[in-house]
Chain A
Amino acid sequence: MNATAARVARAPKPDLTGAAASWLVLFTLAVVASILSSDFLDKQNLLNIGRQAAPLAVVSLGQTIVILGGGIDVSVGAVMSLTTVVVSTEMNGDPAMVIPAVLLVLALGAAIGLVNGFLISRVGTDPFVTTLAAMLIISGAALVYTQGSPTNGLTPGFRQISEGEVLGIPASVFFAAGAFAFCWFILRRTVWGRTVYALGGNMRATFLSGRRTALVQAGAYVASSLFAVLAGLLLAARIGTGAVSAGTGFELESIAAALIGGTAFGGGRGRISGTIAGVLILIVLFNLVNLLGLPSQLQQIVRGAVIVLGVALYSRRAVAGS
């Protein structure tokens, strides 16, 4: 502890852990992309990137909340899949059923989040194992529910939440922006959000400060499930169908986006603006693979490489700061 003087002097430097650094990476990547492919800055392509990014952005925001609180939620992909099949089946082409179907999936999401949150915060099960089990159960339930066949009950009106445009910008981008604003508000400006950060930093100290740690922790999983439902709705509207595998992969990509954006694995540190940069980095990379006509399988490799790179960057910063 005697190197304190050195640390105090280092403290005032600008915060480069996370958010700011990932926006810099995104900007560099965009410049490189526009050089590699003349189509990158094409208006249609940019709108496409926005449409593609919206569901991932929404689910990653929820994931970030859980990770900030010291947990992880690998069930979000399954929740997205379940959302697409339930909402399209219940809607069944009837515009009058749009709102009831949406309310139903939101209720389902809240219930799943409550179960995850209860087990983890009260029973004390491990977050990864708990949500992994939830993922299996939810995927199985979705299969039983649909008998495995895709469902096509989405109304054209519902599909407007992704395909529609306002002022030339995809509607889903507005939803994602709204989700971001909401998320920013609850994390930065509410007692609950402050407590999420604190309990990710030191659960015991937070508990001994008289905070309701169990309730806040459970709330993070409810939030994450609800964000996953919203992401599932945007995804369903974009692909136009309900499919039991629609959300597969989103659990890993959302975790990756949060980590690339500088959120500390283990919690307590991070910003959701970084998560948005992380989402865009991932989507721009996938987009570039397509634009350059590279085999789509390459996306997987790019995905893995980017995750390792993001985590490596974070570790370096952590080591330098320790």
Chain B
Amino acid sequence: MTDDRMVLRATDISKRFGVVRALEGVSLDVGRGEVHALVGENGAGKSTLTRIIGGAERADAGEISFEGSSQALSSPAAALAAGISIVYQHLNLSDELTVAGNLYLGREPRRALRGGVDDRAMNRAATAWLDRLGAGFPADELVGRLSPSDRQLAEIARGLSHDPKLLIMDEPTASLAPTAAERVFAVLRELRAGGLAVIYITHELAHVFDLADRVTVLKDGRNALSAPVGEVDRRGLIKAMVGRTVDELFPRRGRALAPGATPALELRDLTLPGCFEAVTLAVAPGEVVGLGGLVGSGRSGVARTIFGDPPERRSGALRGEILVDGESFHPRGPRAAVKRGIGFVPEDRKVAGLVLGGSVSENISLPQLERLATLGVLRRGAGREVAEREVEALRIKTASLDTEVQNLSGGNQQKVVLAKWLARSCRVLILDEPTPGVDVGAKAEIYALVRRLADAGTAVLLISSDLPELLGLSDRVLVMSRGRIVAELEAEVATEEGVMKAAFDGMETAADLESVA
């Protein structure tokens, strides 16, 4: 490629934080109309590199040339002005502003005469982007009222609305529903045809092959691989990322179950009006049951309701029955669920799973403090012993038990959330999106762990938008749509298309029914 086709040329970038070398001589070139995937395990230096390109961080050494000019992009504002727009993984939107207000924050269209903000023009401009991305919410909706998936879409719309020459996306689809992700890809392909350069950071290797033209792998702050996507395969990418081959991402399935065994968890016609309806399912001890469907289909609602934290706080509205080990269970609250042996790994570990400022041992011991105490007084060192055991068993990489969990990588944070419930040995473990933002090595470990738990007799209910994960880890897959279970598939023979088809068919049938009524 000739130089004038290059949008970004980063050469020999090095960056240290204290004694740690985050980047050592990393190079990355992105051409016009190229989607360049950037992959690597957590901590490999991907985010640091993009922060340097985006002007949020200064490199210690190396050179960055953007659009042929090598002037330093000294701040995020300067980078944005030059044409570099970044879509972050962790949402950077203001809850109290509308979607349009967020998109055009600081560059609102003005009214000609009085100079006030021209809300109508702003909403129009924002709507154009939202429509293009297939967003199902209006531009004047408050961001605080959007679901995580819609917020992520708004964030992507904001990145695009700057009309950048280079768009950097950090895990843009981690919290997106699969259909929304497809739509985003379609838009990116259109813009790529128009010359947009994209740096696309992801843990989803499928996306790399789907979307990217070239791929660069970082490992431990160095270039491990850089090649056109056509020249590498999945195995090669994983090897470059992990430094070893991961043959089996998913563990072997469970043993065949004795027929007629009492299910560890059973739902009979469970209904929460406005959220889900007549959900009937059973999970046997040792079984992993997947719950698939689109975001908003009621999957998370079912999980939270079983755990006593229903999304709709209308007590008494809940109908139907929950049985744990064959005995009726009323989900009064998380505490009752925990006592009954139910564990819950909630969606979004940072919001609901972890006390980020707390230490590894404090987090792990939190659900079982009573067991570590006599009359409310903690036994000396008891929490640490439990935590130490789990840190070892789960191979959690942490400097010490006293390290705050916010200092761990995503995969290790997620292991801490699992450890909270492992230490309690649950009868039923509910996992709601257990691996977003987790690198492939840690993913394999988490999957193996879930299977080991099941083999030891735990009943696992797995909710996941990650279809390979749903199919690879589950024994059976139930598909939800519009609050109802619309299909049951044997995971071993089911396909991703089969799950999506069931999810969409369910929607159409429901729509038909409504139109008849």
List A contacts of B516 (CB < 8 A). none
Judge if B367 is at the interface, Cβ distance under 8 Å: yes
* Cα–Cα distance between A9 and B16 once the two chains are bound (Å): 12
Q: Mark B367-388, 1 if CB is under 8 A from A, else 0.
A: 1011001001110000000000
Closest A residue by C-beta to B90: A1
Q: Are B357 and A4 in contact (CB under 8 A)?
A: no
Q: Flag the segment in A142-150, A198-206, A220-228, A303-311 that touches B.
A: A198-206
Q: Are B18 and A192 in contact (CB under 8 A)?
A: no
Judge if B254 is at the interface, Cβ distance under 8 Å: no
* Cα–Cα distance between A191 and B334 once the two chains are bound (Å): 17
Near B by CB (< 8 A), chain A positions 154-209 give: 189-192, 194-195, 197-198, 201-202, 204-209
Near B by CB (< 8 A), chain A positions 72-112 give: none
Closest B residue by C-beta to A191: B369
Q: Are A2 and B43 in contact (CB under 8 A)?
A: yes
Question: Which of A3, A201, A210 is the one whose CB lies under 8 Å from B22?
Answer: A3
* Cα–Cα distance between A5 and B334 once the two chains are bound (Å): 34
Q: Taking the nearest CB of chain A, how far is it from the CB of B415, in angstroms? A: 13
Judge if A268 is at the interface, Cβ distance under 8 Å: yes
List A contacts of B356 (CB < 8 A). 201-202
Judge if A122 is at the interface, Cβ distance under 8 Å: no
Q: Taking the nearest CB of chain A, how far is it from the CB of B224, in angstroms? A: 14
Most central of A10, A210, A264 by chain B CB within 10 Å: A210
A contact residues vs B (CB 8 Å cutoff): 1-12, 189-192, 194-195, 197-198, 201-202, 204-212, 264, 268-269
Q: Taking the nearest CB of chain B, how far is it from the CB of A254, in angstroms? A: 23
Q: Taking the nearest CB of chain B, how far is it from the CB of A74, in angstroms? A: 24
Q: Are A9 and B335 in contact (CB under 8 A)?
A: no
Q: Are A4 and B19 in contact (CB under 8 A)?
A: no
Question: Which of A10, A191, A197, A264 is the one whose CB lies under 8 Å from B370?
Answer: A191
Q: Are B407 and A211 in contact (CB under 8 A)?
A: no
Q: List 24 A-B contacts (CB under 8 A).
A: A1-B42, A1-B409, A2-B40, A2-B44, A3-B47, A4-B43, A5-B20, A5-B221, A6-B18, A8-B403, A9-B18, A9-B399, A10-B17, A190-B373, A190-B377, A192-B376, A204-B351, A205-B351, A205-B352, A205-B366, A206-B366, A208-B353, A209-B334, A210-B334
Q: Taking the nearest CB of chain B, how far is it from the CB of A19, in angstroms? A: 15
Q: Are A8 and B362 in contact (CB under 8 A)?
A: no
List A contacts of B376 (CB < 8 A). 190-192
Q: Are A2 and B46 in contact (CB under 8 A)?
A: yes
Q: Are A10 and B407 in contact (CB under 8 A)?
A: yes
* Cα–Cα distance between A212 and B336 once the two chains are bound (Å): 10
Q: Are A11 and B399 in contact (CB under 8 A)?
A: yes
Q: Are A194 and B355 in contact (CB under 8 A)?
A: no
Q: Are B407 and A4 in contact (CB under 8 A)?
A: yes
Question: Which of B22, B346, B352, B362 is the one whose CB lies under 8 Å from A6?
Answer: B22
Judge if B484 is at the interface, Cβ distance under 8 Å: no
Q: Are B367 and A11 in contact (CB under 8 A)?
A: no
The 10 A-B residue pairs with the shortest CB-CB distance, nearest first, are: A210-B338, A6-B17, A2-B47, A201-B355, A7-B407, A4-B43, A4-B409, A209-B366, A191-B369, A6-B20
Q: Told that A6-B18, A210-B338 touch, could you supply 4 new A-B pairs with CB distance under 8 A?
A: A1-B43, A2-B43, A194-B365, A269-B357
Near A by CB (< 8 A), chain B positions 236-286 give: none
Closest B residue by C-beta to A3: B48
